[in-house]
Amino acid sequence: MADIIELLPDSIANQIAAGEVIQRPSSAVKELLENAVDANATEIKLIITEAGKTLVSVIDNGKGMSETDARMAFERHATSKIKKIDDLFSIRTMGFRGEALASIAAVAQVELKTKKQEDELGTYIEIENSIVKKQEPCACNVGTTISMKNLFFNVPARKNFLKSNASEMKHIVEEFIRVAMAFPEIHFSLVSNGQQVFHLDAGTFKQRIVQILGTNYNAKLVMVKEQTDYMNIYGFVGKPEAAKKTRGDQYFFVNNRFIKSAYLNHAVANAFENMIAKDSYPSYVLFIDLDPAQIDINVHPTKQEIKFEDEKIIYAFVQAAVKHALAQFSIAPSLDFTLNPEIQNLDAVNKPFTTEKKELTASGNLYKTFTGKHQAHKIEPNEKSELKHWKDFFTNKEQYNSISNPTENVLLQTLPKFSNTYIQLHNTYILTSNNSGFMLVHQQHAHERILYEKYIAQSHSTQPTVQKILFPVTIELATPDAILLEDLLPDIIALGYQIEPFGNNTFIIQGTPADVIQGNEKNSIELLLEQFKHFSTDIKYSKREKLIRCISRQQAIKTGTALSQNEMQTLLEHLFQCTTPNVTPSGNPTYIEFKEDYLDRMFGKI
């Protein structure tokens, strides 16, 4: 039998290896910016066209490379940053794996121009598909310019995986911010398609943060600074009133490297406990410096996750430092509950449900019957099988009174006639009966279903119904959120929002869908972006579907809201006009029926 194993040609092996390091234009941005930082540049320019798909160029005034180094830099595992394995434990540079340039050269067309201070001439190299096309001396400034053109030109399958320009640009801005934030002494700029997106002069940490996150942060930052022999922590946390409905402005850096850590994020959130609403996120930019031997940064190809030698100490330290900062600036003790809108929004504050009321409801037999374990007859969250079920429930009832037009939707004509009084239990359930039993409707779930179908219909119509705002509201977002909003704008507008970009990450909200409560426009957009982000890994749904699900959930009447007889009536009428009234879009039941024969059986009659 013939042998079948062959060694992959270098070019293919390189392309495969590159996949780990260069997944999208923003990965190249990160690597190239980090290289410029490592070269001690004081000025770094990032130039992008078409969200990096056609060009990512980084120009630095750092130390440059010699002719030999310039050629070597593109070899895999070629690095000037470590020499022996022990060096891994004392890394202070951003790079050390020697893979980035090799990976970039394997999947794009690259041009490099570089010159050292002491050299008269620089070196120009053109390389594509890992092959050097041209190398010659050139006249250029001290420093390095690397241009990556036509990413994945030779790997169409990977190219097809790239997202929309707005989405790729969002990633690029994220990476840019993560590097720029950590090095305020370096001047950074970002130009995209000829337009300046960032121009960050060298300055202090605080200046840099405000430059990036927006001037409205200026008065809202509290300094964090603790030093011990083991580690230092410094940076800023936003005052509780700067907390956001979106998780956007949260940055952790360890030895100047941006890292993602749910664990450390939890430590900060914990320090803010009881100071901000449960559904809000504190803003923070925190830098931890510690002996590189205490961390392992080599656990992930893009180095965004790291391992701490002792995680628990770091957690305790971060939490204590943030608490201390908040207390020192007298934020914790002097919290003014009447003034802080975030606090006012806390469930416990804005949903008065007196103990007296609670006891009254809880002691009623009705309530006891409805508590969890008695719900043996719960409707299965299966959209199809239960679709028409509610109609059977009302088979022997009269036609719905207000329907007189025979051409109306058939569904409307068979609407159940509900009892004239509705009982609201626990400010959550609506109890309604007819002569064949009764039904318990979950107000929030029901409303979510109603809104969902309404927005779906809305999104199919050419002219969404917009509720104009008397005084347009401006909303300033962090850059990644602004880019996300820009990306979602056509879909958001289709739902009935009227929003216009106003430059500088600012948007003007002039109208909202009819169901959004006036005065709540800004929150509703922030919340929408946040929810969307949580949804966004789900490829099953289109952007618009995700938005509709988010907004329906967001705008639904919440449990704990007292409803009038009229409101309950309207809610039920609308619910049963839905095509799928029995479940929420995510599959939770909207109501539970208690049929007469079931009740009879319960009481031993059958």
Pick what 73 binds: Mg ion, ligand ADP, none; C-beta below 5 to 8 Å, kind-dependent: ligand ADP
From 25, 52, 95, 214, residue interacting with ligand ADP (rule: CB under 6 A): 95
Which residues share a beta bridge with 114? 123, 144
DSSP letter at 374 equals G
Please choose, out of 28-36, 130-138, 336-344, 431-439, the segment that lies near ligand ADP by the rule CB under 6 A: 28-36
Sign of the Cα torsion 169, 174, 178, 183 reads positive
Pick what 585 binds: Mg ion, ligand ADP, none; C-beta below 5 to 8 Å, kind-dependent: none
Sequence-ordered list of residues with C-beta below 8 angstroms from that of 252, at least 6 positions apart, any chain = 258, 259, 260, 261, 264, 265, 284, 286, 288
CA dihedral (525, 531, 532, 535) in degrees, to 10, reads -170
Sequence-ordered list of residues with C-beta below 8 angstroms from that of 239, at least 6 positions apart, any chain = 220, 221, 222, 329, 331
Smallest distance, Å, CB 98 to Mg ion?
7
- Considering only CA atoms, which of 267, 263, 317, 309 is closest in space to residue 288? 317
Query: Helix or strand or coil: residue 17?
Result: helix
Sequence-ordered list of residues with C-beta below 8 angstroms from that of 463, at least 6 positions apart, any chain = none
Query: Helix or strand or coil: residue 222?
Result: strand
Pick what 36 binds: Mg ion, ligand ADP, none; C-beta below 5 to 8 Å, kind-dependent: ligand ADP
- Site mask for ligand ADP (CB under 6 A), range 204-243, x = bound: ----------------------------------------
- Considering only CA atoms, which of 527, 491, 489 is closest in space to residue 509? 489
Helix segments in 116-182, DSSP class H:
156-160, 165-182
Query: Helix or strand or coil: residue 520?
Result: coil
Smallest distance, Å, CB 300 to ligand ADP?
14
Smallest distance, Å, CB 201 to ligand ADP?
21
Given the complex with ligand ADP, which of 97 and 208 has the nearer CB atom? Answer: 97
DSSP letter at 419 equals P
Count other Cβ atoms within 10 Å, centred on residue 251.
Answer: 22
Smallest distance, Å, CB 7 to ligand ADP?
24
Smallest distance, Å, CB 302 to ligand ADP?
12
Given the complex with ligand ADP, which of 81 and 558 has the nearer CB atom? Answer: 81
Count other Cβ atoms within 10 Å, centred on residue 76.
Answer: 18
- Site mask for ligand ADP (CB under 6 A), range 460-479, x = bound: --------------------
CB-based contact 171:25 (threshold 8 Å): yes
Pick what 25 binds: Mg ion, ligand ADP, none; C-beta below 5 to 8 Å, kind-dependent: none
Q: Name which of residues 89 to 148 contact Mg ion (CB under 5 A).
A: 95, 100
Backbone angles phi, psi at 413, to 5 degrees: -70, -20
Smallest distance, Å, CB 38 to Mg ion?
7
Place of tokens 């893979």: 99
Given the complex with ligand ADP, which of 137 and 490 has the nearer CB atom? Answer: 137
Taking the C-alpha atoms of residue 115 and residue 540, their distance in angstroms, rounded to an integer, is 50
Which token pair is 103? Answer: 């990976």
Which token pair is 183? Answer: 């090095």
Residue 47 is a binding residue for Mg ion (CB under 5 A): no
Smallest distance, Å, CB 512 to Mg ion?
46
Smallest distance, Å, CB 25 to Mg ion?
16
Query: Helix or strand or coil: residue 428?
Result: coil
Pick what 61 binds: Mg ion, ligand ADP, none; C-beta below 5 to 8 Å, kind-dependent: none
Pick what 80 binds: ligand ADP, Mg ion, none; C-beta below 5 to 8 Å, kind-dependent: ligand ADP
Smallest distance, Å, CB 99 to ligand ADP?
6
Smallest distance, Å, CB 93 to ligand ADP?
7
Which residues share a beta bridge with 476? 506
Sign of the Cα torsion 34, 40, 42, 48 reads negative
Taking the C-alpha atoms of residue 375 and residue 379, their distance in angstroms, rounded to an integer, is 9
- Site mask for ligand ADP (CB under 6 A), range 108-147, x = bound: ------------------------------------x---
- Considering only CA atoms, which of 100, 84, 89 is closest in space to residue 32? 100
Please choose, out of 99-107, 316-324, 384-392, 451-459, the segment that lies near ligand ADP by the rule CB under 6 A: 99-107
- Site mask for Mg ion (CB under 5 A), range 13-42, x = bound: ----------------------x-------
Pick what 495 binds: Mg ion, ligand ADP, none; C-beta below 5 to 8 Å, kind-dependent: none
Query: Closest residue to ligand ADP, Cβ-based?
Result: 95
Please report the DSSP string for 260-278 in residue order: --HHHHHHHHHHTTTTS-T
Please choose, out of 96-104, 122-130, 278-286, 386-394, the segment that lies near ligand ADP by the rule CB under 6 A: 96-104
- Site mask for ligand ADP (CB under 6 A), range 47-86, x = bound: -------------x-xxxx-------x----xxxx-----
Residue 496 is a binding residue for Mg ion (CB under 5 A): no
Binding footprint of ligand ADP on the chain (CB under 6 A): 31, 35-36, 39, 60, 62-65, 73, 78-81, 95-102, 144
